[in-house]
Amino acid sequence: MTTLETPGPTVGVVGGGQLGRMLAEAAAPLGVEIVVLDPTPECPASLVARDQIVADFDDEAGIRELAERADVLTFEIELADQTVLERVSNDTGTLVHPKPSTLETIHDKLVQKRELEAAGVPVPPFREVSDADDVRAAIDDYGAPVMLKARTGGYDGRGNVPVESKDETEEALESVAGPAMVEAFVEFEREVSVIATKGYGETATFPIGENVHEEEILRETIVPARSSDAAAERAREVATDVLEVMEGRGVYGIELFEVAGDDAESEMLLNEIAPRPHNSGHWTIEGAHSSQFEQHVRAVLGWPLAATDLRNPTVTANLLADVDQERAAALHNVERIHETPAAHLHWYGKREARPLRKMGHVTVCARDDETGVEELLETARSLEEDVTFRS
């Protein structure tokens, strides 16, 4: 039996952006307090968390203070420093979940792909590249285009550059500006993701979601994905295999390419992994019996995981800043969202709007068995188009 004292357990979170904010929102009903560490004063999570430590993501003194105030540490951004986290954990005895070793694997996409391939997880053809000649050789072998990826520092599509021809190799390498790898371009039916949780002696997966990207930025997630039952099951199997490779408890956002096979059955190829709650799992707040954020809190504390069943078909559309340059953020034209009974607005509280920055999201859920995902997608897009962030 779990007994909660007042105050209850505290989870220290490196990162206080929108994910930290939603973690704090999910933790409060569980009797769990959240303290975040973030370099931005009055970061989005600070409005709902117990407290904020203002420090950089690799600030050892700040992370040590966070560990001393928490029962367990976690992170909501890949910029957390795994070496510092491990050292602080060893010194203070405060555990980190997912483990710093997993963060180290995730930080280098080439290492990540090699470890997953060795474990039998299906991945696109890939290789390390050091210069333009290596990229051109990859084009000879894989065909054009290829996807050039920064090995470190990129997440949520950052650092990914499609190379359409050999003439573009030098410019592409300059834009990546650091160690790189190349992947064969995948002709996929759709991009999907599985939000999977590794708990204390158990795992759980949410239903497969279909993701729509533009300019390498996630725009919409559709649940259930417009995939066959067999494809959805295959995605769940691959996600479960990925969890076997990852070390430490928590939620993992697992992005996959659904590719049509020779026998008309879809195969799933791993794209990328986020060792944290993921943008493509925001639909779970209203669309599932538990959210990815509640699951993450439960998992890192070693508590039993909650049910992940789909409540109703659900579509989430990201609200991106419609500005040409950075400016103070102001939220406008959300009246229709409030007037739509099955629509839910999430405003992240970011103070600055930058071009295409994720400022919030809107989720639309089916209210009856007759409402399909196509209708939900049309509604979500219509509501998203109204919203502006110009001050």
Any residues with CB less than 8 A from the CB of 170 and at least 6 apart, and which? 132
Residue at token pair 């997440």: 155
258 a known binding residue?
Answer: no
135 a known binding residue?
Answer: no
Gap between the Cα atoms of 260 and 255, Å rounded = 17
271 a known binding residue?
Answer: yes
Gap between the Cα atoms of 326 and 352, Å rounded = 7
Q: 305 near 204, Cβ under 8 Å?
A: yes
375 a known binding residue?
Answer: no
Tell me the pairing of strands 203-205 and 250-260: unpaired
184 a known binding residue?
Answer: yes
109 a known binding residue?
Answer: yes
Gap between the Cα atoms of 258 and 270, Å rounded = 9
140 burial level (CB within 10 Å; 0-12, 13-18, 19+): exposed
Measure the CA angle with vertex 83, ends 57 and 348; round to 5°. 25
Which backbone phi and psi does 232 adopt, to 5 degrees?
Answer: -65, -40
Q: 281 near 253, Cβ under 8 Å?
A: yes
Nearest to 228 by CA among 279, 196, 281, 192: 192
213 a known binding residue?
Answer: yes
- Binding site, annotated residues: 109, 149, 183-186, 191, 213, 271-272
For the annotated binding site for ATP, the residues are 109, 149, 183-186, 191, 213, 271-272
